[in-house]
Amino acid sequence: MPFKWEVFTAASLVCYHPHSPGFNLPTLKSVSITLGALLLVVAIVLLARPNYVGVRAGRADENYLQSQDCKSCHEDHFNSWARTFHSRMTQEARPETVQGDFRQHNSFEYLGVKALMERKANGFIMSFSFPDGRTQTVSVDRTVGSRRIEQYLTRQSDQYTRLPLAYDLVNHRWMSLNGSFFHPDNDNYFQHLSQWDGNCVFCHNVKAQPHIDFKTKSFNTEVSELGIACGACHGEGADHVQEALSPLNRTLWHLDKDKPKLIVNPTKLPAERSMMICGHCHGQRVPEPYDLIQTILTRGDPYNAGDDLTKFYRPISQTTQIGKVSFANRFWQNGSPRLTAYEYQGVLRSKCFINGQPGKQINCLTCHSMHEGDPAGQITEENRTDKPCLSCHPKFSATSELVAHTRHKQDSSGSRCYNCHMPKVVYGVMSFHPTHDITIPNPAQTVTHQVPNACNQCHLERSVNWAIAESKRLWPTHYESIQKSDDKQFDFPEGPRALFAGDALTRALSADSLSGNGPMTPDSNWAAPFLVEALADNYPIVRFFAANGLSKQPWVVVKPDYLANRSQQEQLLSELRRLVESKFGEASRAAGLMSEELRKRRQDVDLEVGE
């Protein structure tokens, strides 16, 4: 039991020797009464204190507390966390948490199935009417996500299932999850219906415990707390809170910032351990050894913040395989991640981390902050600039050094560290994000490994071979060995080439860049005809980005519906082709011919996103 200074202080007063100078019996009597009362008060206070230690004893989340337990002492941190999307990652479906439109624009038809989303007196429901006359109504019991899309879970026999429809919070519309994954059009309405208890639960909540019964294949899932809350980053909090009940302990902690507080603080851990806390979720993983999956699915996730993650898990890589399931397509051919939730793997590959001083390497908190900055990315405005890079490379603060290094003007997008060394080539939840694999741009890798290169992220109207030649001209020593490709596709402008000849993720990325969401905004009159042709793509996610780009054109009256049925898509495409031909003439016809030529070189590979 922790030493109680308050009790020791009171007891020492009672033991005051009666023959000490200035001591007399009346004083002794009054002091005794006073101290007796004090002892009684102390005893009452100690007995009345809540006992946090041992909460959930015997469970995987033993000694984990709720975020509300932290608020009384850390109200500022609680409030800053509550503003983040982490805090709202998984929620019970209530009027104050549901953002989807269950009242007005609340119907959606897809693949002949008519869905109606409604708010009733006792909660939310989703009803389906199938082409064969069947109907089905399910409750909406939980939500997942609150930033880009809101997904929904229904509870059936104490198990949670993700429903096939979600609400697009950016475009304010209902959507099929078929439209957010990298699969071609098909007739499977329930393709992305999935079980929550054995999968999503682990990263979207604190301390998941599925409690699977392998005989019945049923779950009895518990979590310490829904959403990504205090315990996810700070671990077990009971000992810390128990000690914090003492005013004296709190005073000592305040006076000595380095005094152990019986809680994990990611900012005070060695860089590797701090990064593991984020990597636990932002680094898709498999159990190590794999047999540990039995424990994970029954007792629960064994990892606690501050632990060595490698004792329990191994990060998924390009070579990871479970049975016949390969994860290779989640990575570019050079091994770099191309999906979110693999940021940990990206940093681990980076020379900025590999060559850093052990314990002090670059890590997540170099750029991100959990309690300040924009909740979108949890990064301050200052750290959206070159500042984090300049902390290790200060010489580039000087304009002359920067220009000599980048061969671009000081205020151009080509002189921004992130654009060149962390280009947006990673897909996650209907958007693209910077890679965390910090590298030196190499346009030749687009030829050899089909990896999008940073040069052509800006120069969409130029070819990969042009980028290779320019790299050799501007940095002759570094790029001495790279060579232009003999494959004629790499003589085409890279924006259109990637849009039609790449795989689905590459095509979606190019559509997003041609829409003006990359580091440079292309001439819309040049890009628009290509985006119209992209609406003929058989992958809805590619059409999604193309439609977003076209919606910015003043001459596009109605935003194209990337989830419309096939006949509606063909009619819309014909109308838009006629429109762009009337506006752009030969440029439109050239775009059509180029897209036809490049599509012949396409090699599609379906991609399991894992979101």
Mean pLDDT by 10 residues, the chain (611 residues): 36 38 54 67 60 94 97 96 97 98 98 98 97 98 97 94 98 96 94 93 97 94 97 97 94 92 96 97 96 96 98 97 92 97 97 93 95 94 96 96 97 97 97 98 97 98 98 97 97 98 96 97 95 96 97 92 96 95 92 95 77 57
Question: Are 402 and 392 in contact, with CB atoms under 8 Å apart?
Answer: no
Taking the CA atoms of the chain, what radius of gyration do you get in angstroms?
A: 29
Q: Do 503 and 586 have their domain in common?
A: yes
Q: Do 22 and 114 have their domain in common?
A: no
Domain stops at, among 203, 220, 235: 203
Look at residue 433 in the predicted model and tell me its pLDDT: 97
Residues near 513 by beta carbon (within 8 Å), at least 6 away in sequence: 457, 460, 495, 522
Residue 143 resides in a domain? yes
Q: What is the pTM of this model?
A: 0.90
Residues near 456 by beta carbon (within 8 Å), at least 6 away in sequence: 443, 446, 462, 464, 467, 494, 495, 498
Domain stops at, among 150, 170, 203: 203
Q: Do 17 and 118 have their domain in common?
A: no
Q: Do 108 and 190 have their domain in common?
A: yes
Residue 317 resides in a domain? no
Q: Do 112 and 199 have their domain in common?
A: yes
Q: Do 507 and 609 have their domain in common?
A: yes
Residue 141 resides in a domain? yes
Residue 159 resides in a domain? yes
Domain stops at, among 203, 229, 259: 203
Residues near 4 by beta carbon (within 8 Å), at least 6 away in sequence: 46, 246
Kindly give the residue spans of alpha helices, DSSP state H, lying in 75-124.
75-82
Residue 403 resides in a domain? no
Strand 424-427 to 113-120 pairing: unpaired
Residue 419 resides in a domain? no
Residues facing 206 on adjacent strands: 225
Q: Do 525 and 596 have their domain in common?
A: yes
Residue 520 resides in a domain? yes
Q: Do 22 and 106 have their domain in common?
A: no
Residue 331 resides in a domain? no
Structural domain range at position 22: 5-48
Q: Do 510 and 607 have their domain in common?
A: yes
Buried b / exposed e along 304-316 (16+ C-beta atoms within 10 A)? bbbbebeebbebb
Helices 566-584 and 524-534 meet at what angle, rounded to 10? Answer: 160
Structurally, the chain folds into a number of domains equal to 3
Q: Do 537 and 594 have their domain in common?
A: yes
Look at residue 6 in the predicted model and tell me its pLDDT: 37
Look at residue 348 in the predicted model and tell me its pLDDT: 97
Strand 90-92 to 142-144 pairing: antiparallel
